[in-house]
Chain A
């Protein structure tokens, strides 16, 4: 066994580990960022007294005031557009889009302005804006409340796009995103908001995993399973089930979609020779297509089978009574794993 530099050094102070829900971890991360930098603002619909429809901003307005936690008019383009203006004035706005399906009125400001202003200004303008988007399905919601719009943004140069999957990452990644000089689209897995896990709220930021690094969350030998956001948990469950059948899945939480930590992905696939990509968004033109292409380019001679994709159908997101059929689950992941072995 080798000694890795990543091994935790003997702690000078005992770790302050708390068990938090993912929503609460985000809340604590936001709070920390606001305490550390008076220029950090939170803005969006119902983020003040209500604390957001998912309570992610709970209590922040009470503690930081209405000037820093801004209940905005109900207009998404207006929210992102004014956030850009605030950033031009030296602020670091964290914008909440209430639900994934409501980001589209703001898509113009995000794509034509937020992403491109730096280049337009020849590098003189930075827009440190974070756009938080609760994403994905599984909560029995009405239309427009269960979508996975990540590729609209990964396809837009100038944006950074990340997706947290668990409370510990939620806590660190939101703070790292706020610190980024580039705009960040921050996806939150809404059906995992209530999942609890230990979060080390006292760990030094230098010890955190860098924002744009992927992570092997379940080491394995036989097949690499790539996921992000809400599907990471699903894939971990699939890995546990597969283990009972004697099959070893390596689950990678990509964490960052743009930029992509391709080196970690390649290292894993070169070891396993098989890869399955899992996301909620439709497979066609989805993020998995980019992964499959890049893995094929880099690992062609090591692949035992084509990269297979598991995702939503190429349909609009269905009514909630049908969503269990639409969303990838443990069985669909394992089905793809079986197919990659049957190739």
Chain B
């Protein structure tokens, strides 16, 4: 009898029911964890709730704009709000973020205008913001590439000699479960480890790399990979904004004080499609989505606020109204967004003058002008 070697692997999801760091249960109950104490004022909790609701609303609006033909594509963060807001709100001013193309929640925490994210997916630029202005690097579309940029940046922070001072900034690199198979991600682990770089690797394991489930990427829980590279790894409930905040804070502080890298696996779920062009009904079961709905990152915070008498109906109405307004403003600004001019093709390719750019630019300008000379 032939042995089906591919089936020899243990089911990574079975193995993977380990200790999730959790501070807020799906039912909205606060639990303590000995390694991650967290004191939040009611106002701070309400602030996190506001962030979660608004980024979900922005995301929803972007999906709608795509369906209406205003954006070429959108990568939805639905379901991953807690992982992004929790880690994003753990950041200090000096910390530097290297996102993928789905970190809309982290962008929100760094005060990047959502319109700039929209501009990228609308096709008016390939990026469109100054990374230094927000300490939020450009979206990176090639899977995993940014983890090396983050590691190099962290090596630069080391060389600046600021670690351990109030000006110390750590670096956080975002990536997904699929990216953990990329050479660049593994190389970034090696570099970060041997140089003891001040970096936090924040992996949002949303269970799906487009259509490929986690077991196509790994035989072991992803956080355990860190051990092989020689730095700590942990798994956090990625739908628990408190826990994501607490673990990221601690890992960032370790980095800032010269203790090197940490891998955080935020165990979460991509509730939507990979992008607006994807169709998850072809590869996953509705039942799985339904099960994850019960672990919704926003509902549990709402339950916690209500249960603790920290917010009333007026508060929730107010946040909903604000989210609606943000979405309406975003829609309006998107529709008003001008297309770049044809000559912008040549802009910013090189810093210094480049004869070929100049030559092609002049030829193209003359070509365009030739149409205007045609008598009507």
Instruction: Please measure, in the bound complex, the distance between the C-alpha atom of A157 and the C-alpha atom of B155, giving whole angstroms.
Output: 28
- Check B159 against A67 for contact (C-beta < 8 Å): yes
B138-162 contact mask (Cβ, 8 Å, vs A): 1 or 0:
1010100101111111111101100
Measured CB to CB, the closest approach of chain B to A65, in angstroms, equals 10
- Nearest residue (CB) in B for A181 is B351
Residues of A89-127 at the interface with B, using a CB-CB cut-off of 8 Å, are 89-91, 105, 108-109, 112-113, 116-126
- Give B300-331 as 1s and 0s: 1 = Cβ < 8 Å from A's Cβ atoms: 00000000000000000000000000000000
How long is the Cα–Cα vector from A18 to B191 in the complex, in angstroms?
39
What residues of B have a CB within 8 angstroms of the CB of A125 in the complex? 130-131, 138
**Which of B147, B191, B356 is within 8 Å of A73, CB to CB?**
B191
Contact yes or no, B149 A81, CB < 8 A? yes
List of B residues within 8 angstroms of A78 by Cβ: 148, 151, 184, 187-188, 190-191
- List residues 22-77 of chain A with CB under 8 A from any CB of chain B: 41, 67-68, 72-73, 75, 77
User: Which A residues lie within 8 Å of B140 (CB)?
Assistant: 113
Give chain B residues whose Cβ lies under 8 Å from the Cβ of A259.
Answer: 354-356
Complex contacts, B347 vs chain A, CB 8 Å: 119, 122-123
Q: How far is the CA of A109 from the CA of B352 in the complex (A)?
A: 21
Residue from the list B154, B187, B188, B349 in contact with A157, Cβ < 8 A: B349
Contacts A118-B349, A126-B351 given; indicate if A86 touches B156 (C-beta within 8 A): yes
Report the bound CA distance from A119 to B132 in whole Å.
15
The 0/1 profile, CB within 8 Å of A marked 1, for residues 118-144 of chain B is 000000011111111100011010100
B348 contacts partner chain A, Cβ-Cβ < 8 Å: yes
A83 interfacial contact with B, CB 8 Å: yes
Kindly list chain A residues whose C-beta atoms are within 8 Å of the C-beta of B127: 120-122
Residue A180 interfacial (CB < 8 Å): yes
A90 to B, closest residue via Cβ: B156
What's the Cα separation between A294 and B309 when bound, in Å? Answer: 76
Separation in Å of the A88 CB from the closest CB of chain B? Answer: 5
Taking CB atoms, residues of chain B closer than 8 Å to A157 are 349
What is the total number of residues of chain A having a CB less than 8 Å from a CB of chain B?
47
Q: For the complex, what is the distance from the CA of A304 to the CA of B21, rounded to whole Å?
A: 78
Q: Which residue of B lies closest to A262 (CB)?
A: B355
B134 to chain A: closest CB distance in Å?
11
Q: Is the interface of B mostly helix, strand, loop or mixed?
A: helix
Whether A89 lies near B157 (C-beta < 8 A) is yes
Residue of B nearest to A71 (CB): B194
Q: Digit string of A244-279 for contact with B (CB within 8 Å is 1, else 0)?
A: 000000000000001110100000000000000000
Contacts A73-B190, A78-B191, A122-B125: A89 and B349 contacting too (C-beta < 8 A)?
Answer: no
Question: Could you say which residues of chain B place their CB within 8 Å of the CB of A81?
Answer: 145, 147-149, 151-152, 184, 187-188
Known: A75-B187, A75-B190, A158-B349. A109 touches B148 (CB 8 A): yes
Partner of A77, one of B160, B187, B354: B187
Does the CB pair B156–A85 fall under 8 Å?
yes
Taken residue by residue from 334 to 376, chain B's Cβ proximity to chain A (1 for < 8 Å, 0 otherwise) reads as 0000000000000111111011100000000000000000000
| A248 to B302 Cα, complex, angstroms | 86
B183 CB within 8 Å of chain A: yes
Specify the chain B residue showing the minimal Cβ separation from A72: B191
Given A78-B187, A81-B188, A88-B137, the answer on whether A118 and B156 have CB atoms closer than 8 Å is no
Contacts known (A158-B349, A182-B350); A85 close to B356, Cβ less than 8 A: no
Residue A19 interfacial (CB < 8 Å): no
CB distance from B88 to the nearest CB of A (A): 20
A130 to chain B: closest CB distance in Å?
Answer: 14
Residues of B within 8 A of A181 (CB): 351-352
State how many angstroms separate the Cβ of B276 from the closest Cβ of chain A: 22
Report Cα–Cα, A87/B153, bound state, in Å: 8
A84 at the interface (CB under 8 A from B): yes
Judge whether A158 and B350 touch: CB under 8 Å.
Answer: yes
Pick the contact of A88 from B131, B355, B356 — CB < 8 Å?
B131
A123 / chain B contacts, CB cutoff of 8 Å = 347-348, 351
Q: Which residues of A contact B352 (CB under 8 A)?
A: 180-182
The smallest beta-carbon distance between A143 and chain B, in angstroms, is 21
Chain A positions within 8 Å of B, measured between CB atoms, are 41, 67-68, 72-73, 75, 77-78, 80-91, 105, 108-109, 112-113, 116-126, 157-158, 160, 180-182, 212, 258-260, 262
Can you list 25 pairs linking A and B with CB atoms under 8 Å apart? Answer: A73-B190, A78-B148, A78-B151, A78-B188, A80-B148, A82-B191, A83-B152, A85-B152, A85-B153, A85-B155, A86-B152, A91-B156, A108-B145, A108-B184, A109-B148, A113-B140, A119-B349, A120-B128, A121-B130, A121-B348, A122-B128, A123-B351, A125-B138, A259-B355, A262-B355
Additional 9 contacts, C-beta under 8 A, given A67-B159, A82-B151, A157-B349? A73-B190, A85-B150, A88-B149, A88-B156, A116-B126, A122-B128, A125-B130, A125-B138, A158-B349
